[in-house]
Amino acid sequence: MDSKNAPTEATPEATPDDPVLAPPTPATPTEPMHGYWPDYPNAWLETHHRFVAEAQKGEAQVVFLGDSITQGWGANGKSEWDKRFAPLGAVNFGIGGDRTQQILWRVEHGTLDGLSPKIVVLKIGVNNLWGDLQEYGEEKVADGIEACVRAIRRKVPGAKVLLLGILPTKQQPDNPLRLGAQAINARSAKLADDDHVFFRDLGEAFLEPDGTISPDVMPDYLHLSPEGYRRFADALEPVLRELLR
């Protein structure tokens, strides 16, 4: 499960003065709540602070905001990122394990402050499939994604928001989590006005002809391999360049 692992590139060295957050209290998908990595109690907040400092430089033209799949552009996806997205003035604000709750908290606490980006690329929701989907249902998770879009629009009203659908997960196409993601994506697609908010479901890029997921693309049927990021970049780059025109 995504929320249990903190990617190493986002785990700063601890010092005695580093802040430590308590484990988050339960929150619905529409309620802001900080994140927490049990194995690195200070690291989530330190990562957030690093992103806030980057935002305050005011230089980013494209902001990638999301969970570990977004964060992975700095690891398995780094080659593609350096070739395709860094030249567009992009920054990567992905944090492993984040759900809609954490995106809402981060936007409220400075993640986009000081920026005037042309595009914010939001990819969130897969971690809500564990727990939140069962407890609150598809509609509430979709409401959380909508709340994230609205929060971004309030913070950077001049930016286009490119909302990406939850990527397919689990190997088989009839897996309940895969079907839940599809239902949430169908609701999220309705947020697009093709003026300020755009929606793209790029999930087909990761599937084999029979609808399964290959471990060569997603070794754990969730996170992307270098080949997975190549497919992601192939599907995403033309969309970004079109929106940047």
At residue 2 the predicted structure's pLDDT band, cuts being 50, 70 and 90, is very low
Q: What six digits make up the tokens of 96?
A: 């492993």
Instruction: Tell me how far CA of residue 41 lies from CA of 20, 218, 235, in angstroms.
Output: 6, 28, 36
Instruction: Determine the Cα–Cα distance for residues 123 and 62; give it in Å rounded to an integer.
Output: 13
Section 9-18 average pLDDT: 41
Q: Residue 204: its pLDDT value, please?
A: 98
Contacts of 13-20 spanning 24+ positions with Cβ under 8 A = 14/40, 14/42, 14/43, 18/42, 18/46, 19/45, 19/46, 20/45
Active-site annotation holder among 68, 98, 201, 225: 68
Can 196 be counted among the known catalytic residues?
Answer: no
Total structural domains in the chain? 1
Q: Residue 158: its pLDDT value, please?
A: 97
Q: Residue 20: its pLDDT value, please?
A: 62
Q: What six digits make up the tokens of 16?
A: 């005695």
How many percent of the chain have pLDDT more than 70? 92
pLDDT digits (tens, 9 = 90+) for 169-224: 999 999 999 999 999 999 999 999 999 999 999 999 999 999 999 999 999 999 99
- Please state, as a whole number, how many other Cβ atoms lie within 10 Å of the Cβ of residue 8: 9
Q: What is the CA radius of gyration of the chain?
A: 17
The residues, any chain, with a CB within 8 Å of residue 43's CB and separated by 6 or more, are 6, 10, 11, 12, 14, 37
Can 174 be counted among the known catalytic residues?
Answer: no
Cα angle vertex 51, ends 119, 94, to 5°? 65
At residue 14 the predicted structure's pLDDT band, cuts being 50, 70 and 90, is very low
Q: What six digits make up the tokens of 91?
A: 């920054």
Asked if residue 10 has pLDDT above 50, the reply is no
* Residues β-bridged to residue 91: 63
Instruction: Tell me how far CA of residue 182 lies from CA of 138, 202, 211, in angstroms.
Output: 10, 12, 13
* Residues β-bridged to residue 64: 92, 121
Active-site annotation holder among 34, 143, 223, 225: 223
End-to-end CA separation in angstroms for the chain: 38
Cα angle vertex 95, ends 30, 59, to 5°? 100
Q: What six digits make up the tokens of 179?
A: 């079907």
pLDDT digits (tens, 9 = 90+) for 67-86: 999 999 999 999 999 999 99
| Average pLDDT for the chain | 93
pLDDT digits (tens, 9 = 90+) for 211-224: 999 999 999 999 99
pLDDT digits (tens, 9 = 90+) for 36-46: 999 998 899 99
Higher pLDDT, 21 or 22: 22
Asked if residue 15 has pLDDT above 80, the reply is no
Is there a contact between 61 and 118 (Cβ–Cβ < 8 Å)? yes
Can 201 be counted among the known catalytic residues?
Answer: no
Q: Residue 69: its pLDDT value, please?
A: 98
The single-letter DSSP state of residue 86 is G
Question: CATH number, domain at 219?
Answer: 3.40.50.1110
Q: Which domain holds residue 51?
A: 2-244
Q: Residue 115: its pLDDT value, please?
A: 97
The reported pTM is 0.92
Section 106-128 average pLDDT: 98
At residue 22 the predicted structure's pLDDT band, cuts being 50, 70 and 90, is confident
Instruction: Determine the Cα–Cα distance for residues 76 and 2; give it in Å rounded to an integer.
Output: 15
How many percent of the chain have pLDDT more than 90? 88
Q: What six digits make up the tokens of 126?
A: 């897969």
Active-site annotation holder among 49, 109, 214, 220: 220
